[in-house]
């Protein structure tokens, strides 16, 4: 055994103690229920039961799904530890957004709302607990957070600011109890559009404040001037009645009368030049943009022949699929078992995932919840299952056709395109067939490449694997035990989560298999999630 020597002196040193506590850098999530004592006074047994159920059904599974570890519960809260700051914040957002749905069914005074703080720090780890300033800062952030919100430290913000489609509101440096240095604090705004709204509200508040100050200064100046003018002086007489100045004018020479018409003609002159500016300049701006958005997508041949309707809502290009039977699932993952025979009826699937351009038509009609950013011909991303349902409802209403999300069985049937290999093109990864991390794509890109950039599958569908994750209609079930065999939507199960297929440009190749399946919370937006539409005959 090699001898241990002291670093400075070179003399034999002592081995480290067997009970030395390990340390590591981790993202710490601290959560606490706001007003817990009040809730217990209102309904002690009911509150205790609800909190335990939330921890069992929401908190623990969500932490596990985001690759975290639940360190301990504190009766009215919990501490969790994550290797990834991104997953720590995503987990926190999922919990907060799910709590909104749970609270919707109870009176406001009975709402259970978490305050959550997230910090990145070096911590001491024991089997049942964690210690250190990193934990203390997370707890302090939780203490100043508003109910239902997630506050993060500057260290977390620097790690996630370019990796999540969220808004972040800087709350400045905060001095908190028992922490020597101030903490830079940010509020997480899960809806990316919320950041723009917050900034607009802040600018409006600043403008209103400045306007109020200007009016106050002018009023004070006028009051000061009036109070400082001596009464009865000639200046007072000259200044007091400015409206009487036209009276002496006729008594003056004809030349004195000439400036009066000039003044009266000059006054209205700015009015015509200013009036069109606010009304005419914004009007042309949206008009060309909207026209460009409407004309770019080509309507499907089955679209309504009325040109006005086709221009207003271009329909997606659809591929008709003849029904048939196939073996659904695989033995590659427990969730894909058992392999079972499914017979699917004829239906149509959109040739491409829904694009940014198509989505923004729905957003412009105020029927979809946010305006998407990025290139028009790229798949729309950051879409929740609820968002996707809003889009298909809007599209069906505008076209009088029963557009919908595909069932999970329909999606896999279409993705396989009549094949039963690992991928639709064979058993080995090949470039040019799918957009994924190890398929030759750019996993660091902020947006997937435009639709149709890769080869179509045997039935002519593009991006049925890679590109964006794609929502389907089905609720999540952990396996295929009891799954329908007629290709219909599988309801029941965990309908707080829905099935997502395809894999994305940020995933590796195993996610782009036609059999691969995953799930996500129905009401939560995620940067790689998109969808495509289906249509029954």
* Chain segment 267-306, per-residue pLDDT in tens: 343 333 333 333 333 333 333 333 333 333 344 444 444 4
Among the listed ranges 234-248, 348-362, 371-385, which one has the minimum average pLDDT value? 234-248
Strands 529-530 and 534-535: unpaired
Sketch out the chain's domains with CATH numbers.
Answer: 23-189 (3.30.70.1230), 310-535 (3.90.1580.10)
d(CA 302, CA 308): 15
What would the mean pLDDT of 417-439 be, rounded to a whole number?
A: 87
How many Cβ atoms sit within 10 Å of the Cβ of residue 44? 10
* Chain segment 85-115, per-residue pLDDT in tens: 999 999 999 999 889 888 887 888 999 999 9
d(CA 236, CA 376): 67
Question: Are 152 and 118 within 8 A, CB to CB?
Answer: yes
**Sheet strand arrangement including 529-530:** 518-521, 494-501, 469-476, 529-530
**pLDDT at position 40 over 50:** yes
* Token output for 360: 């923004």
* Chain segment 6-33, per-residue pLDDT in tens: 434 445 555 545 556 788 999 999 999 9
Q: What letters, b where the CB count within 10 A reaches 16 and e where it falls short, cover 46-69?
A: ebeebbeebeeebbeebbebbebe
Backbone angles phi, psi at 265, to 5 degrees: -75, -35
Partnered with residue 470 across adjacent β-strands are: 501, 530
| Helical (H) or strand (E) element with 188 | strand 183-189
* Chain segment 454-486, per-residue pLDDT in tens: 999 999 999 999 999 999 999 999 999 999 999
Question: Are 321 and 419 within 8 A, CB to CB?
Answer: no
Question: Are 52 and 41 within 8 A, CB to CB?
Answer: no
Going by C-alpha positions, the residue among 137, 139, 151 that lies closest to residue 187 is: 151
Question: Are 183 and 146 within 8 A, CB to CB?
Answer: no
pLDDT-derived band at 161, boundaries 50, 70, 90:
confident
Task: Report the percentage of the chain scoring pLDDT > 90.
Answer: 52
d(CA 147, CA 136): 19
| Helical (H) or strand (E) element with 390 | helix 385-399
| Helical (H) or strand (E) element with 259 | helix 259-266
pLDDT-derived band at 163, boundaries 50, 70, 90:
confident
Q: Please enumerate in sequence order all residues whose Cβ is within 8 A of that of 88, keeping only pairs 6 or more positions apart, or say none.
A: 27, 28, 29, 66, 68, 80, 82, 118, 156
Q: What letters, b where the CB count within 10 A reaches 16 and e where it falls short, cover 338-358?
A: eeeebebeebbbbbbbbbbbb
Helix, strand, coil fractions of the chain, as percent rounded to 5: 35, 20, 45
Tell me the HSE value of 71 on the side-chain side, using a 13 A CA sphere: 21
Going by C-alpha positions, the residue among 533, 394, 514 that lies closest to residue 464 is: 514
Q: What is the pLDDT of residue 463?
A: 94
Q: What is the pLDDT of residue 229?
A: 63
Task: Report the percentage of the chain scoring pLDDT > 70.
Answer: 77
Q: What letters, b where the CB count within 10 A reaches 16 and e where it falls short, cover 126-143?
A: eeeebebbbbbbbbbbbe
Average pLDDT, the chain: 80
Question: Are 499 and 475 within 8 A, CB to CB?
Answer: yes
Instruction: Give me the sign of the Cα torsion angle 433, 439, 441, 447.
Output: positive
């Amino acid at each position: 055994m090699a001898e241990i020597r002291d670093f400075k002196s070179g003399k034999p040193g002592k081995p480290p103690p067997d009970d030395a506590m390990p340390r590591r850098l981790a993202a710490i999530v601290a959560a606490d229920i706001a007003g817990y004592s009040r809730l217990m006074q209102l309904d002690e047994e009911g509150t205790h039961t609800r909190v335990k159920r939330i921890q069992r059904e929401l908190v623990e599974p969500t932490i596990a799904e985001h690759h975290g570890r639940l360190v301990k519960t504190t009766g009215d809260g919990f501490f969790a530890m994550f290797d990834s700051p991104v997953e720590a914040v995503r987990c926190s957002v999922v919990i907060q957004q799910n709590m909104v749905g749970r609270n919707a069914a109870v009176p406001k005074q009975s709402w259970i709302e978490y305050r959550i703080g997230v910090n990145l720090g070096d911590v001491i780890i024991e089997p049942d607990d964690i210690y250190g300033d990193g934990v203390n800062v997370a707890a302090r952030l939780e203490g100043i957070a508003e109910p239902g919100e997630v506050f993060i430290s500057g260290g977390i913000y620097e790690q996630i600011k370019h990796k999540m489609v969220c808004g972040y509101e800087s709350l400045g440096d905060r001095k908190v109890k028992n922490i020597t240095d101030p903490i830079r604090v940010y509020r997480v705004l899960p809806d990316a559009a919320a950041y723009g709204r917050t900034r607009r509200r802040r600018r409006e508040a600043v403008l209103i404040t400045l306007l109020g100050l200007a009016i106050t200064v002018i009023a004070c100046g006028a009051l000061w001037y009036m109070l400082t003018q001596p009464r009865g002086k000639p200046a007072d007489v000259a200044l007091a009645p400015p409206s009487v100045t036209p009276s002496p004018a006729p008594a003056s020479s004809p030349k004195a009368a000439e400036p009066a018409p000039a003044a009266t003609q000059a006054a209205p002159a700015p009015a015509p030049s200013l009036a069109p500016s606010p009304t005419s300049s914004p009007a042309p701006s949206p008009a060309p943009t909207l026209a460009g958005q409407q004309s770019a997508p080509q309507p499907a041949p089955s679209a309504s022949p009325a040109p006005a309707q086709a221009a207003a809502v271009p329909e997606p290009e659809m591929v008709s699929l003849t029904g048939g039977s196939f073996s659904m699932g695989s033995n590659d993952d427990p969730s894909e078992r058992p392999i079972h025979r499914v017979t699917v009826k004829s239906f149509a699937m959109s040739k491409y995932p829904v694009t940014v351009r198509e989505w923004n038509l729905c957003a412009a009609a105020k029927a979809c919840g946010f305006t998407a950013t990025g290139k028009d011909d790229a798949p729309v991303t950051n879409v929740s299952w609820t968002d996707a349902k809003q889009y298909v409802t809007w599209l069906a209403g505008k076209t009088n056709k029963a557009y919908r999300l595909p069932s999970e069985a329909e999606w896999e049937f279409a993705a396989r395109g009549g094949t039963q290999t690992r991928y639709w093109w064979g058993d080995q990864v090949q470039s040019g067939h799918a957009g994924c991390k190890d398929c030759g794509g750019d996993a660091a890109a902020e947006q997937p490449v435009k639709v149709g950039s890769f080869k179509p599958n045997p039935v002519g569908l593009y991006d049925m694997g890679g590109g964006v994750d794609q929502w389907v209609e089905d609720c999540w079930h952990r396996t295929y035990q009891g799954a329908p065999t007629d290709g219909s939507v599988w309801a029941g199960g965990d309908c707080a989560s829905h099935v997502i297929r395809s894999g994305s440009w940020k995933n590796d190749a195993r996610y782009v298999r036609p059999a691969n399946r995953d799930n996500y919370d129905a009401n939560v937006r995620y940067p790689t999630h998109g969808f495509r539409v289906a249509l029954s005959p």
